[in-house]
Amino acid sequence: MKTFTMPGTEIEAPQVVLGLMRIQDKTDDEVRTLVSTALDAGIDFMDHADLYGSSYHGCERRFAEALQLTSSERDAMTIQTKAGIVKEGPYFDFSYEHIVQRVEGSLEALGTDYLDILLLHRPDALVEPDEVARAFDDLHHAGKVLHFGVSNHTPGQIELLRRSVKQPLVANQIQMSVTHAPAIAAGVAANMGDLDQSVDRDNGVVDYCRLHDITLQAWSPFQSRFFDGPFLGNPSYPELNKVIDRLAWKYEVPVEAIAVAWLTRHPARMQVVLGTTTPERVTAAAKGADVHLSRAEWYEMFRAAGYTVP
């Protein structure tokens, strides 16, 4: 597994991360096998959220109850979670009380004294950056959160937070797969007035994060669009699957690895957040970090996914 020192942290981070959004109904054995398979593949970085599960902290609790980590096992992992979404409504809440209360809930559910990284899950239109800064300071000084970041944020929203928050914002987790790559595709079509692809809906977030050493994390790396099933083997993407099958054969890896390789080949050095609960798919996907697609292959997948290279 390829790793890198995550800027703004001391974390030696793998390029592929295990997301635990879908483990609520898994048995202890299933969770243990999933996580140990990930660890065997070099994936020691776990992505959670207070929101995941049938109730708040449901998947965090499932994870902790199944694994019963010793303190040295816990210290050997990077545990990241998120806060800021209120399911009822729904609405977003970056108030001091909400952030602190949800972190306390995550610590309790995860059975740990500290989070390695806390992300603000989705932008709150009513955010008061000074209040976020106060919450981060208190959590940081108490040793409860070591590092902070955001998710689904635009450059402007990150800048707004950065004016008040003292700690570096080390990650921005956004949806990204070869079939859902508007944040990359808009730049490729820059200045092409007749192409809808040229509309930059994310305000240059990929370049912004590269410029500011903010690690991009790609969620839903296999979903064709928004939670509507994977593009692998999907008859709606015949051209893309043909190219992926050919590259999988060439590099002697499973197709999941090629889907991951498209993301890890990007020089932004994104982390890929897997959501599969199938251990074999974790092993397969992890191999993607070691495949270096050529430029021609990367663009071929991009075109086959339906994007235009003008």
Ligand X SMILES: NC(=O)c1ccc[n+]([C@@H]2O[C@H](COP(=O)([O-])OP(=O)(O)OC[C@H]3O[C@@H](n4cnc5c(N)ncnc54)[C@H](OP(=O)(O)O)[C@@H]3O)[C@@H](O)[C@H]2O)c1
Report the chain's C-alpha Rg in angstroms: 19
Angstrom distances, CA of residue 221 to CA of 194, 195, 232: 28, 25, 11
Handedness of CA 99, 152, 177, 297 (dihedral sign): negative
- Segment interacting with ligand X (CB under 6 A) among 33-41, 90-98, 129-137, 224-232: 224-232
Angstrom distances, CA of residue 290 to CA of 47, 51, 140, 206, 287: 21, 32, 35, 22, 6
Q: Which one of residues 237, 275, 286, 289 is an interface residue with ligand X (CB under 6 A)?
A: 275
Cα-to-chain-centroid distance, residue 120: 12
Distance in angstroms (rounded) separating the CA atoms of residues 224 and 271:
18
Distance in angstroms (rounded) separating the CA atoms of residues 57 and 121:
14
Q: Is the peptide bond before 14 cis (omega within 30 degrees of 0)?
A: no
Cβ burial of 114 (10 Å; 0-12, 13-18, 19+) is middle
Q: Min. distance of Cβ 35 from ligand X in angstroms?
A: 13
Question: Nearer to ligand X by C-beta: 264 or 276?
Answer: 276
256 contacts ligand X (rule: CB under 6 A): yes
| Count of chain residues binding ligand X (CB under 6 A) | 25
Residue nearest ligand X, CB atom distance? 275
For residue 222, what is the enclosing H or E element?
A: none
- Segment interacting with ligand X (CB under 6 A) among 123-131, 163-171, 272-280, 293-301: 272-280
Binding mask 91-130 for ligand X (x = CB under 6 A): ------------------------------x---------
19 contacts ligand X (rule: CB under 6 A): yes
| Residues between 164 and 223 with contacts to ligand X, criterion CB under 6 A | 173, 219-223
53 contacts ligand X (rule: CB under 6 A): no
- Segment interacting with ligand X (CB under 6 A) among 15-23, 98-106, 108-116, 200-208: 15-23
Question: Nearer to ligand X by C-beta: 15 or 276?
Answer: 276
Q: Min. distance of Cβ 305 from ligand X in angstroms?
A: 14
Q: Min. distance of Cβ 11 from ligand X in angstroms?
A: 17
Q: Which one of residues 1, 21, 160, 188 is an interface residue with ligand X (CB under 6 A)?
A: 21
Residue-wise burial string across 85-98, b where 16 or more C-beta atoms lie within 10 A, e elsewhere: bbeeeeebbbbbeb
Closest among 302, 304, 305 to 188, alpha carbons compared:
302
Residue ranges binding ligand X (CB under 6 A): 19-22, 47, 121, 151-152, 173, 219-223, 227, 230, 232, 256, 273-278, 281
